[in-house]
Amino acid sequence: MPANPKYLTTSNWQRFAKISSGILGGYFVAAAIHVAIAYWVPDFKAVLITSIYSMYLLWVALIIVPFWAKNGWKVWGVYTLVFFICSIVIYLGKMYYPIV
C-alpha cells in the first residue's frame, strides 16, 4: 500500500530545514544544555564525564523532534532560543561560579 500523498508534499527547503535542525541544531542544543548544567553543579567533572553518554541520547531525541513538526524553520527558531537561554545560563554560571 503506497503512502498517502498529502503527507509527502513537503518542499525541499522544509526537508533541508528539518534535517539540518535535527543534526546541527540538536547537537548544539545538547552540548549547550550539558555545559550549562556543568557550570551550576558543584562537581562539574562528573557532569562532563557522563555527558558523553547522556549528550548522545539527548542528541538522538532532538534529531527526531523536527520530523514531528510541520515547519522545520520553527524548530530552528526553538532550538536557537534554547541555545541562547543556555548561553545566558552559562554566562551567569561563569560570573557567579567560575570553574578554576
pLDDT tens, residue by residue, 8-21:
667 889 999 999 99
Q: Which domain holds residue 57?
A: 16-96
Nearest to 29 by CA among 69, 2, 66, 3: 66
Prediction pTM value: 0.84
- 33: closest CA among 60, 54, 17, 63? 54
Does the residue 80 lie in any domain? yes
Is 26 a member of any domain?
yes
Where are the alpha helices (H) located in 1-100, listed in sequence order?
12-20, 26-40, 44-64, 72-96
Question: Per the domain annotation, does 11 fall within a domain?
Answer: no
In a domain, 71, yes or no: yes
What pLDDT was estimated at residue 68?
92
Is 44 within a domain? yes
The predicted pLDDT at position 7 comes to 64
What is the per-residue pLDDT for 8?
A: 64
Q: What is the pLDDT of residue 80?
A: 97
Q: For the chain, which residues score pLDDT lower than 50?
A: none
pLDDT of residue 1: 64
Give me 51's grid cell: 555527558
**Number of domain units in the chain:** 1
Q: Report the pLDDT value the prediction gives residue 100, as an integer from 0 to 100.
A: 54
List all residues 6 or more positions away from 70 whose beta carbon is below 8 Å from its beta carbon.
none
In the prediction, which pLDDT does 95 show?
A: 84
The answer to whether position 7 is within a domain reads: no
